[in-house]
Amino acid sequence: MNDNDELLFADDEDNLFADEDGDSLFAEEEEGTGADSDSGSEGAWKVMIVDDEEEIHTVTRFALSDYEYKGRQLEFLDAYTGAEAQQMLTEHEDVALMLLDVVMETNDAGLQTVKHIRETLDNHFVRIILRTGQPGQAPEESVITDYDINDYKNKTELTDKRLFTTITTGLRSYADIMAIEHFRQNLEKMVEERTLTIQEQSKELEGQNIKILGSINAASRIQSAMLPQLDRIKTTFPDSFVLFRPRDIVSGDFYWFSETAGRIFISAIDCTGHGVPGAFMSMLGDALLNQIVNIDEVTSPDRVLNRLHKGIRKALKQESTGNQDGMDMAFCMYDRQAGILEFAGAKNPLIYVQNGEIHKVKGDKMPIGGVRSKEEERTFTRQVVKIDQPTVCYMFSDGYPDQFGGPHNRKFMSKNLRNLLLEIHQKPFDEQQQILENRLDEWMADREGSDIQYRQMDDILVMGFKIG
């Protein structure tokens, strides 16, 4: 402040500087300046007075000597230049409020101090109240627009009551901001702790997943070893294919093949479930079929299914546990010498094409395994197809016809699969398999208004072979 700052506060009944006779209200007191003066009690609000006039410091302290806000008194810090205020604020980052003059060592020292606080120190918490005795030097409108201050006061306006209001408003704002900041820091800490916990859990889960995946891959290798070698099927049926697409790494669908005593056995089986549970069922089914056909030499398809049903019921203790796991299947025995194909089915059909006509041999409407109310003994039906001309046969699980896709999110349906098989039955079998796979992929990718492909719903198995 310079010599022009003669009128510090307005003439008012609460004028801070003059009594009725115009004399100073305050006697001279010892010059005690700086951050140590009036260093207040612990927990006090820190208020920094920045002004080059000692009298301003003295009057402000006096006017606010009994002030309290939320049970806390004020601790005053005194600076007489902008540079001193900037340095002091680096040592006292918890200053709540600053009463800042504009004209001090330079005409814009106060404004440069504001800029330093907000931009260099990045302190947006301290409430800055600009006090000027020369409003023409720092016009209110331009200062409010260009500088991040919280209030602008002309010293001629500041009575003790208005100073009280200004300080209270500033401290309330500071308290609110610090409450928000405290909440933000706590929230940030909670997020960091939660993130760390999630990362630790993620690492633990990742380790567990690696172990589980390793076990499932091992199970997949075991299941692959259990399945008939495709070369073996090709040797017996040169014109054949097996489209096998598990939904997961391991499958509840499996195919079975055997030759014994001049007869050829081939089957497509769909076990309850998919993934690991389905794979366990498939291994049980494979073991029982090997026992029934290869060791016990049961050759009639209906008797094979009857025995398999009893074997599943016994192995899973379904009478006592109520377990309902089982399998749907199509089972064929081809007697080349007799020129017949015998079939029995548990819910699943046999599709064959002769002389350009497609035929469907329905399976019985009951699965292998499971418990049905009021059931005495489950018996399956043997059906015979005469093979006196080239015949193309197909068996499949419900995975292909039940796959959702297309523009309207619908199942592919068994009828559409039969029509497709009739359409392609004269093509080479490798080409047939490729067409089936391509059509399935196109069906799953055809999602209207979206680039997201439908996910595979179930294990998929389609077998085709030519006899006669």
DSSP-assigned letter for residue 249: S
Write down the domain spans for the chain.
1-216, 227-467
What stretch of H or E contains 363?
none
Segments in the chain below pLDDT 70: 1-42, 135-137, 374-375, 448-449
Identical fold between 1-216 and 227-467? no
**Inter-residue contact 17 to 24 (CB < 8 Å):** yes
pLDDT number for residue 19: 42
pLDDT number for residue 274: 81
Per-residue pLDDT of 291-301, as tens digits, reads 999 999 999 99
The whole-angstrom separation of Cα 130 and Cα 118 is 14
Per-residue pLDDT of 242-256, as tens digits, reads 999 999 999 999 999
The whole-angstrom separation of Cα 85 and Cα 57 is 14
Q: What is the CATH number of domain 1-216?
A: 3.40.50.2300
Edge-to-edge strand ranges of the sheet holding 383-386? 253-260, 263-271, 327-335, 340-346, 383-386
Work out the angle at residue 452's Cα, subtended by the Cα atoms of residues 441 and 273, and round it to the nearest 5 degrees.
60
Nearest to 396 by CA among 466, 465, 301: 465
E-strand ranges in 340-402 read 340-346, 350-354, 357-361, 383-386, 391-396
DSSP string, 76-120: EEEESSHHHHHHHHHH-TT--EEEEESSSSSTTHHHHHHHIIIII
The whole-angstrom separation of Cα 97 and Cα 95 is 6
Task: Give the number of other Cβ atoms within 10 Å of residue 201's Cβ.
Answer: 10
What stretch of H or E contains 100?
strand 97-101
Asked if CATH classification 3.60.40.10 holds for the domain at 227-467, the reply, yes or no, is yes
Three-state DSSP state, 414:
helix
**Inter-residue contact 48 to 96 (CB < 8 Å):** no
- Per the structure block, which two tokens stand in for 338? 């007799």
The whole-angstrom separation of Cα 319 and Cα 321 is 6
